[in-house]
Amino acid sequence: MRIALIAHDKKKDEMIDFARRYRKILCRHELYATGTTGKFVGKLADLDIHTFLTGTMGGGQQIGAKIAQGEIDVVFFFRDPLTAQPHEPDVNALIRLCDVHSVPLATNLGTAETIIAAMKNK
């Protein structure tokens, strides 16, 4: 399974914690991430992650292109709905792409853990 990881600045610690807790599951899959998220999650959760550009430089769009090409199977995008910054990836564009291509998308920890639970059963 090919999994994309993206996190707004204020959610990066939550993404790192999530990746650490579910490392044994995540390490069995191909992981992709925007630059900064991938760098921190890869290092701090000890995971091999292919990183794209940072969100500021277009990493979200690069992941979006992979979704459109059928090359991403699930997206974990931990977004900050209250204080997201203008430079951060646009969740709405990725939600639209995931809906068009029927790719599961978790925008919060609760949904992410539900998807992880389903992955354990496969």
DSSP conformation letters of 13-31: HHHHHHHHHTHHHHTTSEE
Please check whether residue 55 lies inside any domain of the structure: yes
Please check whether residue 116 lies inside any domain of the structure: no
Please check whether residue 93 lies inside any domain of the structure: yes
- Give the pLDDT score at 83: 75
CATH number at residue 23: 3.40.50.1380
Helices (H), the chain: 12-21, 23-26, 35-44, 59-68, 91-100, 109-120
- Is 10 annotated to bind ligand? no
Please check whether residue 44 lies inside any domain of the structure: yes
Q: Could you tell me how many residues make up the chain?
A: 122
The range of the structural domain enclosing residue 16 comes to 6-110
At position 23, the amino acid (one-letter code) is R
Q: What is the pTM of this model?
A: 0.93
Structure tokens given for 53? 């550009």
- Is 35 annotated to bind ligand? yes
Please check whether residue 122 lies inside any domain of the structure: no
Please check whether residue 63 lies inside any domain of the structure: yes
- Is 50 annotated to bind ligand? no
Give the helix, strand, coil percentages of the chain, each rounded to 5: 50, 15, 35
Domains held by the chain: number: 1
Q: Which helix (H) or strand (E) holds 4?
A: strand 2-7
Please check whether residue 81 lies inside any domain of the structure: yes
Please check whether residue 120 lies inside any domain of the structure: no
Cβ-count burial of 112 within 10 angstroms (0-12 exposed, 13-18 middle, 19+ buried)?
Answer: buried
- Is 37 annotated to bind ligand? yes
Interval 33-51: pLDDT, tens:
999 999 999 999 999 999 9
* Mean pLDDT of the 109-118 span: 96
Angle, in degrees to the nearest 10, between helices 12-21 and 109-120: 20
- Is 56 annotated to bind ligand? no
* Residue owning tokens 């044994």: 24
Structure tokens given for 55? 């969100």
Q: Indicate the pLDDT class of residue 16, thresholds 50, 70 and 90.
A: very high
